[in-house]
Amino acid sequence: MAAGIRSIPDILHDVLVNIQDIVRAEVRLAKAELGEELKAARSGGLLIGAGAVAAIFSALFLLLACVYALGRVVPNWAAALIVAAAVGVAAAVTLGLGVKRFKTIQAAPETAASLKENFRWAKQQTR
């Protein structure tokens, strides 16, 4: 064989090594990106959790206090209904804010773009 000509097994070995390196790099990138996104998701989750707990306690205590107060003006069932509706609105607003924050999170956009580019590169190399 001439000095500049490589055998097919050598070429295939080099291609496989390069693909392994690319995959390892993509996994490292995905881990880093997902770690960043999980930090952002944690704050949204904490807001939803805090909103849910506050809504539960608020509903219980407000229902109790307001039902007694409104029970003097309207029938007891109407007083409980009025208070429950007000607490429901507050809970919906808090939970809506948490869900809105979750929707802004994008899972590993750089990794997805990089994987597409690597796929195109590998496809061109096999032609």
Query: Over the stretch 38-70, which tens digit does the pLDDT of each residue have?
Result: 887 888 888 899 999 998 888 788 778 888 899
Q: Is the pLDDT of residue 16 over 80?
A: yes
Q: Which amino acid belongs to residue 2? A: A
Give the burial string for 82-112 (b: 16+ CB within 10 Å, else e).
Answer: ebeeebeeebeebeeebeebeeeeeebeebe
Helix (H, G, I), strand (E, B) or coil at 123: helix
Q: Is residue 16 part of a domain?
A: yes
Number of domains in the chain: 1
Inter-residue contact 126 to 16 (CB < 8 Å): no
Domain range for 118 is: 8-125
Q: What is the pTM of this model?
A: 0.39
Domain for residue 1, yes or no? Answer: no
Tell which residue, 23, 12, 4, has the closest CA to residue 119: 23
